Structure 1
Amino acid sequence: MITATLAGAVEEALGDPYDDTNPHGFRALLDASERRAPLVAATPWHVPDGDPESVLHALRAVHRRAPALAPALPAGAPAATAVGASVGSLDSALRITLRHLRSRHLYGAPAIDLPALRALLAGAYADLLLCDTLTTLAVRGTEPLPDRPGALAHAATALAPRALQGAMDRLSVVMGSRFYIREGAHASFQRLLHETQRALFGAGRPVPAPAPVLLTALRTAPAFAGFADPALLAAAPGLALEGSVRRVPQPGGAVQERLYAELIARYEAGTAFDHTRRALPDRP
């Protein structure tokens, strides 16, 4: 499958982001950022013409390390591609947070065992699945609502940026005071957060308002159910952004347990959190 092949080639070329000797790793990218030096040029990779989904996943591989490294989109690429690339940033943010919580102890137990933190991780993962679904189907040109052409593309560009940024903001709170320490993976989280915000909401990137009625109809469309589990998508905290709620609800009960178990299984298997489940070069 060319989508996975191209993204896998980019991942392999850019190497393990946690390797301190890797010129495309978190340490090198952070050092360049702190020196205000130009980021190292990403290893060249070919984007085949006429395959926008391959472009999307190749860009996600780059965004997992640094959105600022991403090359310009090919002319005519679907508008949802730029938003969907940031799913890669959330992928890395989730991994960094998991590493942090597994190594930190609170009240005499691993922080990862606290129910509130597991719920937040499950929520961030649900948001990733939602944004993956919205943007991938939009890039494919899918029209889940034949009587409302363009509804999916609108949802992808209107809701996904807010959901992605909201998930990363909540994860930054989980990182606690470590979020502000300019060393190791924690500092890379801060850089990823800021670069993702610029990529999603920077100058010249207007984000339209979500359309709640359209989103509700999209989530129940057969195309969505055929791509991802509707129960998991419905648990995404980002869906609350279509309304006026102040506190974003996190998934609970059996759905939370399913989300958390799947998140941990993918993390331990070293595979991407999006639907490709492609192997990653990251060390455990």
Structure 2
Amino acid sequence: MNTTISGPAAHASALEERLGDPYDTANPYGFRAILAAREAGQPLDGEPFDAVGTEDHGAEPETVLHALRAVYRRSPMLTRPGQEAERGSGAVTAGAAVGAVDSGLRMTLRHLRARRLYGAAAVDIPQLRAVLAGAYADLLLCDALTTLAVRGTDAMPARPGAHDRMVRVLVPRVLQGAMDRLSMAMGSRFYIREGEHAIFHLLLNEMQRALFAPDGRPGRPPAPVDAAVPLTGITIADLATAPAVTALCDPELLAAAPGRALTTRARRTPQPSGPAQERLYAELNRRYDTSRSFDLAERPLPDRP
């Protein structure tokens, strides 16, 4: 996995430092300040967050993607209205939502490490580790698909429009599904609207609005995948094994992504198991402990675990 920060991701790394540690209670751009502003019905100081640099309409789409991802880690609505609204339901908005899942995954891991069940850390329960690993695999898959899209690379040139439809319709559902499973992994405490749990709620709701109602207004719940887009035999698995995609991420990890089941008629969402789960879980913890983003760029973060 990439550890050198350059090119489009470099701007986002500088932006992360400007925005500071989101867990710092004194940070004006931290989770506490964002939640307080939302609860008061007031905009956060500086909204619509032109300071992130995404107001530069000459910026390359991939640079905008990473900049927005840095902001989505805190609140997807911080950049509305903004440049990403022009791109609506396109690859930039879908890819930016990876940032919200990054925070959701980080909060869930943080919560399960601290929570005790039956005399041990909740994170030691195999089923919960599988959920964490699955959400991480989904994040990597969606990152690979949207990154190629904003670069203008078609992963399946022999099937015109297939990659684009996957990014615009299925990737949002994969990301939403990952957040839904993470919310369940938090257990009953997820429904306590305090502290980080309240922020998780905010991220979950705002991400859904950003993905499924690009104008920022509450939208309808996502339609069933089969009804939403007939892909005529094309599945996420087809894209996940395309050479352009596997060049960005290990195919073993992509093959473990639960979101691949969205274009099948599977009765349940399969979670990673075996070596793939072990690799995903180990990498997840390494990045968490060293304050690195979970996406393919592996950017340094100002977060304190």
1:128 aligns with 2:133: no
1:86 aligns with 2:97: yes
Give the alignment partner of residue 27 of structure 1, picking from 25, 28, 32. 32
Give the alignment partner of residue 186 of structure 2, picking from 175, 199, 203. 175
Which residues of 2 match residues 41-80 of structure 1 at below 5 A? 41=47, 42=49, 44-47=51-54, 49-71=58-80, 72-73=82-83, 75=86, 79-80=90-91
Q: What amino acid is aligned across from residue 37 of structure 1 in structure 2?
A: Q
For 2:125 and 2:179, locate their aligned partners in 1 and report how far apart those are by CA, in whole Å.
19
Q: What amino acid is aligned across from residue 7 of structure 1 in structure 2?
A: A
**RMSD of Structure 2 on Structure 1 (CA):** 2.0
Q: What amino acid is aligned across from residue 63 of structure 2 in structure 1?
A: S
Report deviation, 1:77.
8.5
Give the alignment partner of residue 227 of structure 1, picking from 244, 248, 251. 248
Q: What amino acid is aligned across from residue 246 of structure 2 in structure 1?
A: A
Distance 1:77 1:180, change over 3 A: closer
Give the alignment partner of residue 201 of structure 1, picking from 200, 203, 212. 212
Report deviation, 1:252.
0.6
Which residues of 2 match residues 143-222 of structure 1 at below 5 A? 143-202=154-213, 208-209=228-229, 211=231, 212-213=233-234, 215-222=236-243
Report deviation, 1:283.
0.9
For 1:255 and 1:215, locate their aligned partners in 2 and report how far apart those are by CA, in whole Å.
18
For 1:210 and 1:61, locate their aligned partners in 2 and report how far apart those are by CA, in whole Å.
33
For 1:76 and 1:30, locate their aligned partners in 2 and report how far apart those are by CA, in whole Å.
26
Q: What amino acid is aligned across from residue 217 of structure 1 in structure 2?
A: D
Which residues of 2 match residues 234-273 of structure 1 at below 5 A? 234-273=255-294
Deviations 1:68-87 (CA, angstroms, capped at 9, x unpaired) = 10242265689210111100
For 2:230 and 2:167, locate their aligned partners in 1 and report how far apart those are by CA, in whole Å.
9
Check conservation: 1:151, 1:214, Cα contact below 8 A.
no
TM-score (norm 2): 0.88
Report deviation, 1:150.
2.9
Check conservation: 1:52, 1:78, Cα contact below 8 A.
no
Check conservation: 1:52, 1:77, Cα contact below 8 A.
no
Deviations 1:17-68 (CA, angstroms, capped at 9, x unpaired) = 0011111111011111111222332361324525110100100000000001
Check conservation: 2:258, 2:270, Cα contact below 8 A.
yes
Deviations 1:110-142 (CA, angstroms, capped at 9, x unpaired) = 001010100010000000001101111111110
Report deviation, 1:149.
3.1
Deviations 1:83-112 (CA, angstroms, capped at 9, x unpaired) = 111000000001101110111100000001
In structure 2, the residue matched to 1:279 is 300
Percent identity, aligned pairs only, is 57
Check conservation: 2:235, 2:263, Cα contact below 8 A.
no
Distance 1:141 1:203, change over 3 A: closer
For 2:62 and 2:89, locate their aligned partners in 1 and report how far apart those are by CA, in whole Å.
10
Report deviation, 1:245.
2.2
Distance 1:43 1:213, change over 3 A: closer
Distance 1:250 1:16, change over 3 A: same
For 2:154 and 2:270, locate their aligned partners in 1 and report how far apart those are by CA, in whole Å.
29
TM-score (norm 1): 0.94
Report deviation, 1:148.
2.4
For 1:210 and 1:26, locate their aligned partners in 2 and report how far apart those are by CA, in whole Å.
39
Check conservation: 1:210, 1:242, Cα contact below 8 A.
no
